């Protein structure tokens, strides 16, 4: 069974500081990995995804993530955080479903990011 662990429930950083959100996954095959962001009362917005190839993936809003198979990790990074980045961030692993649209996503519990001015 697939699972995702986000070890940090809440992270606080100062505006302009660098950010790293941790994600560890468990999956029996090549994982499809995602990072989503959710603002209060909103749905989920995809930041970036990893399917294959280059293990460093670039996303929207200046975010990037690195897939490390040996560590079963897919950590999200941003070199300089903006106040508008305050939100909840979810890591997810996806499974292909019978060759059609991929199947269910398994999400971590999320990391709440607070940005201090």
Kindly list the residues in this chain that would bind another protein in the complex (CB under 8 A): 4, 32, 36, 41-46, 49, 51, 90, 92, 94, 96-97, 99-110
Residue 77 beta carbon to another protein: minimum distance, rounded to whole angstroms: 20
Task: State how far the Cα of 29 lies from the Cα of 17, in Å rounded to an integer.
Answer: 35
Residues of the chain by 3-state class (helix, strand, coil), percent to 5:
10, 50, 40
Nearer to another protein by C-beta: 47 or 81?
A: 47
Nearer to another protein by C-beta: 37 or 81?
A: 37
Residue 14 beta carbon to another protein: minimum distance, rounded to whole angstroms: 25
Task: State how far the Cα of 103 lies from the Cα of 98, in Å rounded to an integer.
Answer: 8
Residue 44 beta carbon to another protein: minimum distance, rounded to whole angstroms: 4
Nearer to another protein by C-beta: 81 or 91?
A: 91
Give which of 29, 30, 23 is closest to 8, Cα–Cα.
23
Tell me the pairing of strands 56-58 and 64-68.
antiparallel
Nearer to another protein by C-beta: 73 or 106?
A: 106
Residue 32 beta carbon to another protein: minimum distance, rounded to whole angstroms: 5
Give which of 6, 86, 80 is closest to 39, Cα–Cα.
86
């Amino acid at each position: 069974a697939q699972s995702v662990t986000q070890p940090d429930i809440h992270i606080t950083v100062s505006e302009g500081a660098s950010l790293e959100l941790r994600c560890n996954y468990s999956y029996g095959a090549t994982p499809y990995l995602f990072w989503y962001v959710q603002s209060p009362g909103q749905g989920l917005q995809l930041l970036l995804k990893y399917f294959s190839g280059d293990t460093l993936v670039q996303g929207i809003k200046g975010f990037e993530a690195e897939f490390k198979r040996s560590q079963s990790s897919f950590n999200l990074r941003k070199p300089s955080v903006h106040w508008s980045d305050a939100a909840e961030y979810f890591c997810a692993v996806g499974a292909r479903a019978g060759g059609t649209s991929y199947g269910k996503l398994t999400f971590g519990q999320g990391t709440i990011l607070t940005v201090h001015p």
